[in-house]
Amino acid sequence: MTEPIHDISVEGFIESFDRRYPTFILKTLLRDRTTGRNIIWADNEYEALGDGYMGDDEITVEKITGMNSGVIKPRIAKEQERQSQRTKSRAEVFTPSWLCNQMNNDLDEVWFGRRDVFNTEIVADGGANTWTPTSDPIEFPKSKGHGWRAYVEAPRLEITCGEAPFVCSRYDTVTGDELSVGERVGFLDRKLRVVTEKTKTRKEWVRRALDALRATYGFEYQGDNLLIARINVFETFAEHLRDRWGSDPQQDELEQAAWIVSWNFWQMNGRTYAVPTNKMGAEVESTLGTFEEPEPKPIQPSLFDLFEGVFSDEINKEIEEEEPKETVPLCVIYDWRNGEPFEFASLKGKASDMGKKFYAVIGNPPYQEENSQAKPKSNGQKPMTNIFQYFQEVTDQVTSDCAVLIYPGGRWIHQSGKGMKTFGHKQINDCHLSVVKLFPDASELFGDAAQLADGITIVVKDYRKKEPGFKYIYSKAGNETAVQALNPGDKLMPLDPNDLPLVQKIDESVRELGIGFLHDAILPRSLFPIESNFVENNPNLVRKYENDAAVDYSHEIKLFTNDKAGKTGRAMWFVAERSIITKNQHLIDEWQVVVSSANAGGQKRDNQLEIIDNHSAFGRSRVALRSFKTNDEAINFYRYVKTYIIRYAFLLTDEALTSLGKEVPDLGDYSNENSLINFDKDIDQQLCELLGIEDHEFSYIKNRVDSIRNGSSSESGVN
């Protein structure tokens, strides 16, 4: 064909596809096999176009072609349209193709027991990650069930698939550059390469290629993304056929391929396992018991229609007056081996049919979502809620052999943040955990598009694995440190393996000394229940505190809190009546050593450590590490926390309050009479002796702490 394999220009992707194939192919790819209608838009991105483009409206050929050409376009084309000034080197806003390749190689390593099967990952001269395809035919393991036919037929699923970059790589997801068939790295591309190498006739090739297609799945929420994914998968089949045989697919082959793709790539809410809907309060229901070849019809008849003639006229009148219950069906997909439809949700749970599970699952799920039910923050923004863990959990349930997902790192490893304690503890101790690769700087993978302070992890699971432990890889600035890690149990594993020897020394010393960790002594953020908007909401209850201003401590206190809520607010001192503190009033009479609640561990910048005197209270912008009855104890503790060793210990865990200070030794007694430390002498030197820290280890500690202040990071480890 003289036309390019694809056209991702602003006006071209759907239109060029519709020109190349009969319109019924596009109509087939728009079908939703669960509802019998078409897939829907599912979000509000297109609502400005008017009627027919609302979230629950179906996508039709007429709405995306002809006068409506260019409505749907690949994400890279959207990015080029919105930010035409951005260079390609900065356009890493999607899962880059090199990363899709790496993660597919992770899956294949489980199958083949080795890497570099389909390609070799390399770093180009300019530092860009890329790959070189292998030239020799693929050699398969001799073990039973791992031959080439089994590989082709093993079902693989890309979750929240977007445009299906893990399935097929027709174009580079970052640059939009076309990739030749021989360069492609998707898991369908790999199956079709094997088919090409192992078959001798066109008829056999088509039969095996359709087998590969039947074993290729994906689900997506957004309707436009799903259509593009379906087109990409369909075109991948056609392009591999053309590349191998030098001719176009026949009409019956196109029909079969489109039919399979319309079943195997389905529209689903990954949290409910049902068809997406914007209807508030819609209930999920199973329709499989009455499932037939879909025909356009309402989701659910009214209750009156269902029970007409059964009840008395009076009861029927009541039912007529009730609002009909909105329902949405669980998604139905197809088991090609047994020739029957089934609900995706049925794969969950111990009673699920192992024969229907996916051999492998891969993907880059959504990380978090806006919590519309929660109270807005003081700056007006809705709080964000982690959701990536739900996709890992469902992957664990629907997969038989292996999975590779990518999502935020430090928060689950350190069980830090809402929803992470249970998930993180279970995940890090799962015997199926095979490889965890942490990139502390997410921009190394996604550029400026991913603002993830805790980095990103690639998580590989082998569900056949029963022994404990996993391979842990820490990758920073192109340098990798790999160790064989033990499942840590209730302890928090250090993110940087270079810290492990020091963590072991700290833990052992804490046990031998019979002391605890500071985390258990830290006071709650709501110690004094003063919200950040207290001053602006109650201006008559406070006055600004000026140095040396008279304060009547018999009934007044100094109050350290924000002058207003939100990012424009500034923490400052006020004077207020003691009675405004409705909880923990007795602690006003003690000294607290506090840090900024936003930077409590000093991970990114100074934690603003200071002593609050025994006439003061503070709002949620500060967290009290300890409270003391004497000023001397507070000063001693302040000096202790200011040491290099203790500041380093804070860096060993996430600074969220759920994990803050879990590796910081707590002496307990900070009076001058304590038996462990003389606070008038060099505390770091005494801590080195107490914890068994050697000179080269202390140099490493000092360098780590200073690197935070200087905005750089040391790569030298502790040996």
Is residue 418 within 8 A of residue 385, CB to CB? The reply is yes
Is residue 534 within 8 A of residue 618, CB to CB? The reply is no
The Cα 243–Cα 263 span in angstroms is 25
Q: Are residues 35 and 179 in the same domain?
A: yes
pLDDT band at residue 323 using 50, 70 and 90 as cut-offs = low
Q: Are residues 312 and 207 in the same domain?
A: no
The percentage of residues in the chain with a pLDDT greater than 90, rounded to a whole number, is 72
Helix (H) or strand (E) holding 229: helix 223-245
Q: Are residues 462 and 519 in the same domain?
A: no
The Cα 105–Cα 116 span in angstroms is 7
In this predicted structure, the answer to whether residue 366 has a pLDDT above a threshold of 80 is yes
Q: Are residues 81 and 142 in the same domain?
A: yes
User: What pLDDT is stored for residue 349 in this prediction?
Assistant: 75
CA distance to 445, 450, 526, per residue, from 294 (Å): 42, 40, 55
AA letter at 700: Y
Is residue 132 within 8 A of residue 120, CB to CB? The reply is yes
Which residues are CB-neighbours of 704 under 8 A, at least 6 positions away? Answer: 648, 651, 714
User: What pLDDT is stored for residue 6 in this prediction?
Assistant: 52
User: What pLDDT is stored for residue 272 in this prediction?
Assistant: 95
Is residue 692 within 8 A of residue 501, CB to CB? The reply is no
Q: Tell me, yes or no, whether 275 lies in a domain.
A: no
AA letter at 9: S
Q: Tell me, yes or no, whether 365 lies in a domain.
A: no
Instruction: Write the burial class of residue 195 (CB in 10 Å: 0-12 exposed, 13-18 middle, 19+ buried).
Output: buried
Q: Tell me, yes or no, whether 39 lies in a domain.
A: yes
User: What pLDDT is stored for residue 419 in this prediction?
Assistant: 87
Question: Which among 359, 360, 370, 455 has a CA at the least distance from the CA of 406?
Answer: 455
**pLDDT tens track for 372-399:** 665 555 445 567 899 999 999 999 999 9
Q: Are residues 489 and 507 in the same domain?
A: no
Averaged over 681-700, what is the pLDDT?
97
The Cα 607–Cα 624 span in angstroms is 12
User: Lowest-pLDDT range, 132-141, 416-425, 476-485, 706-715?
Assistant: 706-715
Q: Tell me, yes or no, whether 99 lies in a domain.
A: yes
User: What pLDDT is stored for residue 321 in this prediction?
Assistant: 52
- Identity of the highest mean pLDDT range in 226-230, 308-312, 364-368: 226-230
Q: Tell me, yes or no, whether 201 lies in a domain.
A: yes
In this predicted structure, the answer to whether residue 312 has a pLDDT above a threshold of 50 is no
Per the structure block, which two tokens stand in for 682? Answer: 């060099």
Per the structure block, which two tokens stand in for 96? Answer: 């880059």
In this predicted structure, the answer to whether residue 8 has a pLDDT above a threshold of 60 is no
CA distance to 63, 98, 160, 438, 554, per residue, from 14 (Å): 11, 26, 21, 38, 76
Q: Tell me, yes or no, whether 129 lies in a domain.
A: yes
In the chain, DSSP finds a helix count (H) and a strand count (E) of 22, 26
Q: Are strands 591-596 and 610-612 parallel, antiparallel or unpaired?
A: antiparallel
Which residues are CB-neighbours of 521 under 8 A, at least 6 positions away? Answer: 625, 626, 666
pLDDT band at residue 607 using 50, 70 and 90 as cut-offs = confident
Q: Which domain, by its residues, includes 600?
A: 503-529+581-710
In this predicted structure, the answer to whether residue 132 has a pLDDT above a threshold of 60 is yes
DSSP state of 405: E
Q: How many domains does the chain have?
A: 4
CA distance to 159, 372, 420, 590, per residue, from 381 (Å): 29, 10, 22, 35
User: What pLDDT is stored for residue 350 in this prediction?
Assistant: 65
**pLDDT tens track for 643-687:** 999 999 999 998 888 889 999 999 999 999 999 999 999 999 999
Is residue 119 within 8 A of residue 179, CB to CB? The reply is no
| Residues paired with residue 471 on neighbouring β-strands, in sequence order | 435, 484
Q: Are residues 45 and 101 in the same domain?
A: yes
User: Lowest-pLDDT range, 137-151, 266-280, 311-325, 355-369?
Assistant: 311-325
The helix-helix angle for 187-198 and 97-112 (nearest 10°) equals 60
Sign of the CA dihedral with 82 first, then 88, 89, and 95 last:
positive
User: What pLDDT is stored for residue 7 in this prediction?
Assistant: 54
Better pLDDT: 319 or 259: 259
Q: Determine the distance from the C-alpha atom of residue 149 to the mean position of all C-alpha atoms in its chain, rounded to a whole number.
A: 33
Per the structure block, which two tokens stand in for 680? Answer: 């008038």
Per the structure block, which two tokens stand in for 530? Answer: 């003063």
Q: Tell me, yes or no, whether 540 lies in a domain.
A: no
User: What pLDDT is stored for residue 486 in this prediction?
Assistant: 93
Among 436, 465, 493, the domain boundary falls at 493
Instruction: Order across the sheet with 456-462: list the strands.
Output: 265-267, 216-220, 156-158, 358-363, 399-408, 456-462, 433-439, 470-476, 479-485
Which residues are CB-neighbours of 681 under 8 A, at least 6 positions away? Answer: none
Q: Tell me, yes or no, whether 286 lies in a domain.
A: no
Better pLDDT: 120 or 19: 120
Q: Are residues 656 and 517 in the same domain?
A: yes
User: What pLDDT is stored for residue 10 in this prediction?
Assistant: 42
Q: Which position has the token pair 């929240």?
A: 160
The Cα 698–Cα 645 span in angstroms is 8
| Residues paired with residue 484 on neighbouring β-strands, in sequence order | 471
Helix (H) or strand (E) holding 378: none
Mean pLDDT of the chain: 88
Among 466, 493, 520, the domain boundary falls at 493
Rounded to two decimals, the pTM is 0.85
Q: Are residues 673 and 606 in the same domain?
A: yes
| Residues paired with residue 399 on neighbouring β-strands, in sequence order | 358
**pLDDT tens track for 40-97:** 999 999 999 999 999 999 999 999 999 998 899 888 777 655 543 332 322 234 799 9
Q: Are residues 326 and 242 in the same domain?
A: no
One-letter-per-residue 3-state SS of 648-688? HHHHCCCCCCCCCCCCCEECCCCCCCCCCCCCCCCHHHHHH
DSSP string of 154-203, one letter each residue: S-EEETT-TT-TTT--SB-TTT--B--GGG--SHHHHHHHHHHHH--SHH
Q: Are residues 488 and 512 in the same domain?
A: no
**pLDDT tens track for 264-278:** 999 999 999 999 998
Q: Are residues 469 and 507 in the same domain?
A: no
AA letter at 289: G
Question: Which among 233, 240, 237 has a CA at the least distance from the CA of 157?
Answer: 233
The Cα 8–Cα 310 span in angstroms is 57
The tally of CA atoms less than 13 A away on the side-chain side of residue 222 is 18
**pLDDT tens track for 497-542:** 999 999 999 999 999 999 999 999 999 988 999 998 999 999 999 9
DSSP state of 38: B
Among 330, 347, 377, the domain boundary falls at 330
- The radius of gyration computed from the CA coordinates of the chain, to the nearest angstrom, equals 30
User: What pLDDT is stored for residue 263 in this prediction?
Assistant: 98
Q: Are residues 134 and 211 in the same domain?
A: yes
**pLDDT tens track for 450-459:** 778 899 999 9
The tally of CA atoms less than 13 A away on the side-chain side of residue 424 is 25
The Cα 565–Cα 532 span in angstroms is 5
- Region of residue 12 (phi > 0: left; psi between -120 and 50: alpha; otherwise: beta): alpha
**pLDDT tens track for 535-572:** 999 999 999 998 878 999 999 999 999 998 888 888 89
